[in-house]
Amino acid sequence: RAKDAGRNTFRFFDPSMNESVVEQLHLAAGLRSALGSEQLMLHYQPQLELASGRIVGAEALLRWRHPELGWISPARFIPVAERSGLIHELGAWVLRQACMDAQSWRELGLGELGVAVNVSAVQFRRDGLERHVARALASSGLPAQALELELTESLLMADASHLGNVLQRLSTSGVQIAIDDFGTGYSNLGYLRNFAVDRLKVDQSFVRRMTSNPHDEGLVRAIIEMGHCLGLQVVAEGVEDAQTLARLADFGCERGQGFHWSPALPPQDFIAFVQAHQARA
Ligand code: C2E
Ligand code: MG
Ligand code: MG
Ligand code: MG
């Protein structure tokens, strides 16, 4: 069955190819009409400073509630948005909404919290990202220092000169740059000294296994030390228990996020979570 084999090959190389073309078109059409509606929203996962236990900000994570299919994971619909070109409009909305929400946290007196926004490679390759960032900051009033963009390693390997310039300009404006899912990408680390990066986010697959697998613990520790040698801060994602947290703190990891504290929460629940956390402290 050549056809079946072909499908399986696709499945192996790109999990998003699990969807048939028809399914993808259906999702893309749904996404287009979801834009600007209540179906799409941002949830916020608290990020903590490990040394103090303070909440220092949140990662914005997209949520889509499809009228017929229910909740759809961003891991499924972001690739569809990238392939259909919708990611530009979607990404601009995410930036605007995240900056507005983060500014509202300040106005509510929650402190100088930051917000981290995921930016996909496709968004970076087209001119306009810098303009979208500038507009989101200007219209919300959020200081640039409070916005962090999360990029993936694979993005930094492609089109290095254009990207280096964009990152340099963003960085000069005060925007923070983090490398997401660090450790899962390429082994060439040279880009770390060539680009204006502020933080590494250790991939959750290592963090979640670190208390049961010494190799994963070793990797996490090595990434933290390497980050520090390069003058970068390190964020651990996927912190699910107190034992993992204790090890990360021992290793000098600056920040963490994960189910140990909270999953990503709807905006109102995030605010309540921060208020309850601050009341306890
Ligand atoms: P990511 O940026 O690496 O986000 C972390 C993912 O890990 C999130 O899944 C989060 O809910 C999950 N997570 C957080 N803490 C834990 C934990 O302790 N244990 C476990 N098992 N999981 C945890 P989510 O929300 O499904 O997002 C998946 C991916 O979708 C994100 O990975 C990101 O690459 C992408 N994504 C989400 N929102 C956006 C967006 O606005 N724009 C773009 N371009 N991509 C987005
Ligand atoms: Mg992320
Ligand atoms: Mg990640
Ligand atoms: Mg990811």
- Ranges of H-type helices in the chain: 2-13, 21-34, 74-84, 87-107, 121-125, 129-140, 153-157, 160-172, 191-194, 204-209, 214-229, 242-250, 267-280
What ipTM goes with this model?
Answer: 0.96
pLDDT digits (tens, 9 = 90+) for 214-238: 999 999 999 999 999 999 999 999 9
Only one residue has tokens 């040279």, namely 190
Distance 150 CA to ligand 2 centre (A): 6
What pLDDT does residue 223 have? 95
pLDDT of residue 194: 80
Given a contact cutoff of 8 angstroms between Cβ atoms, the answer to whether 90 and 31 are in contact is: yes
- Rounded Cα distance, 255 and 79, in Å: 28
- Residues contacting 118, CB < 8 A, separation 6+: 59, 60, 61, 62, 94, 150, 180
DSSP result, 247-280: HHHHTT--EEESTTT---B-HHHHHHHHHHHHHH
What's the confidence (pLDDT) of residue 17?
Answer: 56
Mutate to test the pocket of ligand 1, among 150, 204, 255 (most ligand atoms within 8 A of CB): 204
> What's the confidence (pLDDT) of residue 208?
97
Q: Which pLDDT value is given to residue 16?
A: 52
DSSP state, residue 139: H
Closest CA to 42 of 120, 4, 95, 114: 95
Residues with CB under 6 A from ligand 1: 45, 61-62, 73-75, 78, 94, 118-120, 150, 180-181, 204, 237-240, 257-259, 263-264
Q: Which pLDDT score, from 0 to 100, does residue 114 have?
A: 98
Residues 6+ apart with CB under 8 A from 186: 153, 154, 157
Question: Which residue is closest in CA terms to ligand 1's atom 15?
Answer: 258
Q: Which ligand is nearest to the CA of 202?
A: 3
Ranges of residues in the chain whose predicted pLDDT is under 70: 1-18, 159, 186-188
**How many whole angstroms from 211 Cα to the centroid of ligand 3?**
19
